[in-house]
Amino acid sequence: MSLPMLKATSLRREVQTNAGTLVILDDISLELRAGESLAIQGASGSGKSTLLGVLAGLDLPQQGEVTMDGTDITALDEDQRAILRANKVGFVFQSFYLIDDMTALENIALPLELFGHPNPFESAKEWLGKLGLENHSKHFPRQLSGGEQQRVALCRAFAVKPALLFADEPTANLDVATAATVLDQLFSLQRELNTSMVIATHDDSLAARCDRVMSLQAGHLKEVQN
């Protein structure tokens, strides 16, 4: 059997507050196979975003380890983790995080340039066409609707063909109809590229589309029948 694309073992993350130690993640373990999608649900403040950050190597746990495609990322320094993410990871966020003074085309081309793609702008143009945004290539984020911005963000995330994608509340700022369109495109791209995907979400309809669902409560993660 092949190694899991992502494996977390006995993760613990805590912070110090005026009231004492607050445990956010407590002995959390999980595995994710290539091409598998996992939804992580939980109340606001339950630690979903913290968990995604630790799994992606943006933050480190006080205890435990995270293995990404066979590499223990908790043993790497910050620069080494950044290089690994650049080669294997894509991100989609609730607030889109597009660069305001770059056009849609430039926002997608930027990570491709950093990735060393030989034709970043041609590839970015193709991605815009794939998601029906070819007429918005010269538009800045402020000229796009929320749904259009999130679809540009999907292009940016998938353009580098990541092995892993982390999405943090990707539909939270969208109306129901727009969210449905974005989700159709998200899962279509995920299947097309066989990308492993971890999504933090309050959206039950989004979670239901994932292969597996886990619930984060009081620092503990448990499998939920989907």
Q: What CATH number is given to the structural domain containing 150?
A: 3.40.50.300
pLDDT mean over 136-143: 96
Check residue 18 and give its pLDDT. 87
* Within a domain: 111: yes
Q: b or e along 106-120 (b: 16 or more beta carbons within 10 Å of the residue's beta carbon)?
A: bbbbbbbeeeebeeb
165-216 pLDDT per residue, tens: 999 999 888 889 988 999 999 999 999 999 999 999 988 889 999 999 999 9
Task: Name the amino acid, one letter, at 87.
Answer: N
pLDDT mean over 78-91: 91
Number of other residues whose CB lies within 10 A of the CB of residue 144: 19
Judge whether residue 1 has pLDDT over 60. Answer: no
Domain that holds residue 109: 35-60+78-224
* Within a domain: 6: no
21-78 pLDDT per residue, tens: 889 999 999 999 999 999 999 988 889 999 999 999 999 999 999 999 999 999 999 9
